[in-house]
Amino acid sequence: MKFREAVRAATVEVMRKDARVFVLGIGVPDVKGIFGTTVGLADEFGADRAFDIPLSESAVTGICVGATFRGLRPIFVHQRIDFTMLTMDQIVNHAAKWRAMFHGAHPVPLVIRAIVGRGWGNGPQHTQSHHGTFAHIPGLKVVVPATPHDAKGLLIAAVEDDDPVIYIEHRWLHEEDGEVPDGYYEVPIGKAAVVRAGNDVTVAAVGPYVGEALKAAGALAGEGVSAEVLDLRTLRPLDSETLLASVRRTGRLVVADADWGPCGVSAELLAVTAEHAFGALKAPPVRVTWPDSPVPSSQALEPGFYPGARQIHAAVRYTLSRGASAGLAGSSTKPFEGPF
């Protein structure tokens, strides 16, 4: 099943199970149904439970908060995560604060599905990731699925959760195929996955960089380097236990994040590692992140903007070349020259 079909399958599961769940957002009932993820929902569940909205992202976020007061569980979908910047007052000042500020009297079981629109020259305002922006805020949960399996299980878990969950999907994963179990299952929020075991270096990856990290790890294996790849899956609350256990074993860390570096999730991972596994580190960690710049539109610039498997591979070689010897045959200080 494709990633986007898994998102839709999860939505159908939760709507069938729980009449309190409804889906709203600009384009939810249209023919294309938000990259196919909401197609047919209005037909099956009625226009009261799957509907279009005015271009009022801010108020509609607050409307979702208000609907939770009466016991409903909204899923608010944004075709571009950039549009959630219009809703930050309701997400940050309201939804994120509500449980703590009223001491549990009014939890807010709200899911914000937000899509990252990389590609086709979408430019600075249609391509941001922002998971780091949200992950900074106490009171929110932030998940970034990397596979169709997790796309379904994490969306179900997000709807089941009593706190606001920012569910971020990268549309260039939408066409990815993978095994997706039938029926209702949750992928627990707050748990990373070790998607490839290894001993020499930990590569912690976010969303689309999980696939890139696996490609790099495959190439590294051919060079005698055993890389462990973590799919972080949830960025808040961060599964630091899984991260630290891996780094304590490998002694080296590369973070591959689909976001800017400064003050971002990659910085947080390095901070957590420095705080809790400083003595285990054999070399300074390395971050593979987006350039510290808005995303350009031109086809001459856009492809080169995004690092990928090649850069992750290079970052691994770089960290292996530094600090205490990893005892690896062939580890080299020479700059990496391919093939990825």
Partner 1 sequence: MSLERSLYEAMLRMRMVEETIAAIYPDREIRSPTHLYIGQEGVAAGVCAALGRQDVVAANYRSHGWYLAKGGSLRAMVDELFGRATGCSGGWGGSMHLIDVDAGVMGTSAIVGGGMSHAVGSALADRILGRAQVSVAVFGDGAVEEGPWHECLNFASLKRLPVVFVCENNLWAAFSPLKDRQPPVEIHERMKAYGIPSELVDGNDALAVHRAAAVAADRARRGHGPSLIECSTYRWLEHCGPNDDVAQGFRPAEELEGWKARCPILRMRSLVTDEEDRSIRAAVMREIEDALAHARRAPWPEPSWKPAYYEV
Q: Please report which helix (H) or strand (E) contains residue 7, including its range.
A: helix 3-17
Task: Identify whether 175 is a catalytic site residue.
Answer: no
Nearest-approach distance from CB 107 to partner 1, in angstroms:
11
By the rule CB under 8 A, 61 interacts with partner 1:
yes
CB under 8 Å to 183, separation ≥6 — which residues? 13
Looking at 30, 43, 44, 101, which residue binds partner 1 (CB under 8 A)?
A: 101
Tokens 């596979």 found at: 147
Nearest-approach distance from CB 252 to partner 1, in angstroms:
25
The region of 1-9, 104-112, 129-137, 303-311 touching partner 1 under the rule CB under 8 A is 104-112
Name which of 69 and 120 has its Cβ closer to partner 1: 69
By the rule CB under 8 A, 177 interacts with partner 1:
no
Nearest CA-CA partner of 209 in 321, 125, 287: 287
By the rule CB under 8 A, 48 interacts with partner 1:
yes
The one-letter code for the residue type at 128 is Q
Task: Identify whether 57 is a catalytic site residue.
Answer: yes
x-or-dash pattern for partner 1, window 5-24, by CB under 8 A? -----------------x--
Q: Rounded CA gap, 281 and 146, in Å?
A: 27
The region of 102-110, 187-195, 239-247, 262-270 touching partner 1 under the rule CB under 8 A is 102-110
By the rule CB under 8 A, 279 interacts with partner 1:
no
* DSSP per-residue string spanning 256-325: EEEEESTTSHHHHHHHHHHHHHGGG-SS--EEEEE-SSPPP-STTTHHHHS--HHHHHHHHHHHHHSSS-
Asked whether 247 and 147 are in contact (CB, 8 A), the reply is no
Looking at 18, 30, 43, 104, which residue binds partner 1 (CB under 8 A)?
A: 104
Q: In the complex, which residues of this chain contact partner 1 (CB under 8 A)? A: 22, 48-49, 53-54, 56, 58-72, 89-90, 93-94, 98, 100-106
Which positions are annotated as active-site residues? 57, 126
